[in-house]
Amino acid sequence: MKTTAAANDSGKILVVNKPAHWTSFDVVKKIRRVTRVKKVGHAGTLDPFAEGVLLVCLGRATKKVAQLMELPKEYVAEIQLGRETSTLDPEGPVVKEAPIPAMDEVRLQAVLRRFIGELKQEIPAYSAAKYQGKRLYSLARKGKDIPRLFKTVHIHEIELLDWGRDWLEIRVVCSRGTYIRTLARDIAGELGTVGYVRSLIRTRIGQYRLEEALSIQDVETQSKRTDDGGV
């Protein structure tokens, strides 16, 4: 059952379907405005190009943000092969091109299995991670030299959903802090080419699924109904 937004401070967790081209903070600002709840936060940032499940906590529920962020995440990602962008997503310019070796499903499955388990991932230059107190994306946009930074993550599952000559579609279940953009680049590298994430949907955080998520319009409609005295 979808969760109804309400203009009170009793505490709610909204499962929101973040639209592509919105930042996670854009969603928080919008929900704060339409619900008129002052204390609003989210549990787990999604990149602007990505869409899908964003947990938005209202009122007393903001105390659960840290706990919610530890839940495993599930994504469906399309990986474009043969080209790599500066941001490892559709928003950056192409910086590398490489031929794509012949592939078959047996090889693809074997490569994907190599990424299951604990991984040491390189943090993308265009990310919100900090170096010397500065956001990496801010340094990258200014052309500053950024050292290679790494973090340890855990990939619980990878499933090959579909593929073509120059693309893959995969489902990934992973730990907090996993960069699907880095995973896509590294999978492409194991296949002998380059790549980036051309689309990304977060389908689940813990038990909270995309099927139950509210659109931004849903939140507005339900908030208005509450204001008007509806259920």
Q: Please tell me the pTM assigned to this model.
A: 0.87
pLDDT of the residue at 130:
58
Amino acid (one-letter) located at 162: D
10-residue mean pLDDT profile of the chain (231 residues): values are 47 94 94 92 92 96 95 98 95 95 96 96 70 58 68 96 98 95 97 97 97 94 66 32
Phi, psi for residue 16 in degrees, rounded to 5: -110, 140
Parallel, antiparallel, or unpaired for β 40-42 and 117-122? Answer: unpaired
In the chain the domains, ranked by start, together with CATH numbers, are 12-70+207-227 (3.30.2350.10), 73-205 (3.30.2350.10)
> How far is residue 184's CA from residue 168's CA, in Å, rounded to a whole number?
9
Query: Assign residue 206 a region: left if phi > 0, alpha if psi is -120 to 50, beta otherwise?
Result: left
Q: Please give the positions annotated as active site.
A: 47
CB neighbour class for 228 (10 Å; exposed up to 12, middle 13-18, buried from 19):
exposed
